[in-house]
Amino acid sequence: MKRLPVECVSQIISLTSPRDACRSSAVSCLFRNAADSDLVWEKLIPSKFKRIIFESSSSSSLISMPRKALYFHLCTHPIIIGDGHTSIALDKQSGKICYMVGARGLVIAWADTPAYWQWMTLPHSRFSEVARLNRLWWLDIKACISTNNLSPGTIYAAYLVYQLSEIRSGLAKTPIVLRINYRQRTVVRLYSVILDPMPQRARLRGDGWMEIEMGQFFNEQGIDDDVVECSITEVSNLKSGLIVEGIELRPIHM
Amino acid sequence: MSTPAENEASIKQESGPSGTVQDKPKKIVVRTGDGEVFELKEEVAMEMETIKTFFMEDNISYETVMPLTNVDSWELVKVIEYCSKYVELKNKENFHKELKAFQDEFVKSMSPKTLLSLSNVANYLEIKYFLDFICQAIADHIKSKDVEYVRELFGVENDFTEEEYEMAKTEAPWAHENLDKDLY
């Protein structure tokens, strides 16, 4: 049969997914050339994301990168945006946006009272500051995230990213309520979990932090002022030693 | 392709004051690779950049039969079908909705190999919107299919050395998992 020119093969691959594009590199030499091309990976990086990174300060070296290398760079090197309290990255398999709000971007009750919350700089955090719970009854943390920041037509999960101080108390006693609320109509998910010792649903992340899923929602998009609210609450017990890096939203893999 | 009535109507319109018919009957004639001759309406033919350039660039008379050696007659039939529909729907209100319905019907019974042939033709005739559509249809088809399937479909050989193939695979092992098993 007539051989398809390499630009056509590139065009076809650019309409699949990052996973399919990576697999295509193993089909044949021609396919590898087609699949590794800028044409393909330019298409696979969400345009929303490109706009954001090219506006941020780290853009000069990124703009000149070959697009496939840029794609994988963005999967493993979250870009800090906004006031320095938010980061975005790409999810490797799907090419969708991962969005994380750092502790300074969250609404933490009593955050400005040093007796209750201590702000520290930890080297393994992507953000300049994280929040450590010193001693408090009223644990109440909220994030209100506009879904415009996320990829449309995607199921997202929200994760509390945290760790426990060596010196801690109260966290083994009462469950913390993790909740996400989408569209302010229905409570989508509510989990009640004791963080100490490490619960089954929590896991250790690659960057040294712990995370626990707070719930999932389907981001349709195209709707103005659409937000997802994530909250962490526990007000019946004196607690200390919880360190919060932030809340991350990531697409789930089926 | 038009009916005799339409033909007559277009010829009547083109008569000059002296009653003579002008030499642009608004029809373009092409010959496919397998020797068949097709008459296309000008508005449909002009959707194909290759044909448009051929006639417009050197102001070639429409009486010339343009050879389309890389196109088979069955392929041209399909192309004409799509472009005619596109031209018809182009200025309508429900353009996107109706086009989508037509597109779904158009590809419904097409085999992947048929789609590939048509993408070649769309590329050769330079019909951007048709090429975009066919490429998307092929892309949807190869998602989550393994390497062997794609080779079979595109008619390509594994021309890697052992090492090259291993390297290509290990670069992204996660891309080779959880693929469609139900293929043939």
Q: What's the pLDDT tens digit per position in A6-43? A: 999 999 999 999 999 999 999 999 999 999 999 999 99
Question: Alpha-carbon distance B160 to B147, whole Å?
Answer: 13
Q: Would you call B157 and A26 a contact, using CB atoms and an 8 Å cutoff?
A: no
Q: Where does chain A have alpha helices with state H?
A: 6-14, 18-24, 29-35, 38-44, 47-55, 59-63, 67-76
Return d(Cα B83, Cα B90) in angstroms, integer: 10
Q: What is the pLDDT of residue A233?
A: 94
pLDDT at A143 over 90: yes
Contact between B11 and B21 under an 8 Å Cβ cutoff? The reply is yes
DSSP labels for A134-175?
-SBS-EEEEEEEEGGGS-SSEEEEEEEEEEEEEEEESTTTSP
pTM of the model: 0.83
Question: What is the pLDDT confidence band of residue B184, given thresholds at 50, 70 and 90?
Answer: low
CB contact under 8 A, A28 and B160: yes
Residue A89, min C-alpha distance to chain B (Å): 19
| CB contact A253 to B (< 8 Å) | no
pLDDT of residue B20: 45
Answer positive or negative: Cα dihedral of B5, B9, B14, B20. Answer: positive
Judge whether A250 and A203 are in contact, CB under 8 Å: no
Quick check: helix, strand or coil at residue A9? helix
- Mean pLDDT calculated for residue range A89-111: 95
Q: DSSP class of residue B176?
A: G
Residue-level pLDDT at B15: 41
Sheet of B65-68, strand order? B37-41, B27-32, B65-68
Pick from A188, A190, A186, A170: nearest CA to A178: A190
| CA–CA distance, A50 with A90 (Å, rounded to integer) | 11
User: pLDDT grade, residue B6 (50/70/90)?
Assistant: very low
In angstroms, how far is CA B120 from the centroid of its own chain?
Answer: 8
pLDDT at A52: 80
Residue range B59-84, pLDDT digits in tens = 888 888 999 999 999 999 999 999 99
Query: Rounded mean pLDDT of chain A?
Result: 90
- What pLDDT score does A222 carry? 65
Model pLDDT, residue A184 = 58
pLDDT digits (tens, 9 = 90+) for A53-65: 777 766 678 888 8
- Which pLDDT tens digit goes with each residue over B79-112? 999 999 999 999 899 999 999 999 999 999 899 9
For A227-236, what is the mean pLDDT? 93
pLDDT at B16 over 50: no
Hey, are the CB atoms on B154 and A15 less than 8 Å from each other?
Answer: no
pLDDT of B7 > 50? The answer is no
- Rg of chain A taking only CA atoms, in angstroms: 21
Which residue in the set A5, A8, A20 is minimally distant from B144, CB to CB? A20
Taking all residues of chain B, what is their mean pLDDT, rounded to a whole number? Answer: 85
ipTM above 0.90, yes or no: no
Residue B21 has pLDDT above 60, yes or no: no
Q: Residue A41 CA to chain centroid, in angstroms?
A: 21
In sequence order, what are the residues at sequence separation of 6 or more whose Cβ sits closer than 8 angstroms to the Cβ of residue B81?
B106
Give CA–CA dist A39/A41, Å, rounded.
Answer: 6
CB contact residues (below 8 A), chain A span 24-43, against chain B: 24-32
Question: What pLDDT does B63 receive?
Answer: 85
User: What DSSP element (H or E) covers B30?
Assistant: strand B27-32
Higher pLDDT, B6 or B38: B38
Bridge partners (DSSP) listed for residue B27: B41
Residue B13 has pLDDT above 80, yes or no: no
By Cβ distance, the residue of B123, B143, B146 closest to A8 is B123
Q: Does residue A186 register a pLDDT over 70?
A: no
Token look-up 């290509």 returns: B168
User: Which residues of chain A are within 8 Å of residue B154 when distances are taken between CB atoms?
Assistant: 4, 9, 27, 31
CA distance B67 to B35: 9
CA B183 to chain A, closest CA, distance in angstroms equals 16
In this prediction, residues A161-184 reach a mean pLDDT of 89
Q: Give me the residue label for tokens 């066919």.
A: B134
Q: Which of A42-51, A188-197, B117-126, B174-183 has the highest mean pLDDT?
A: B117-126
pLDDT, position B91: 87
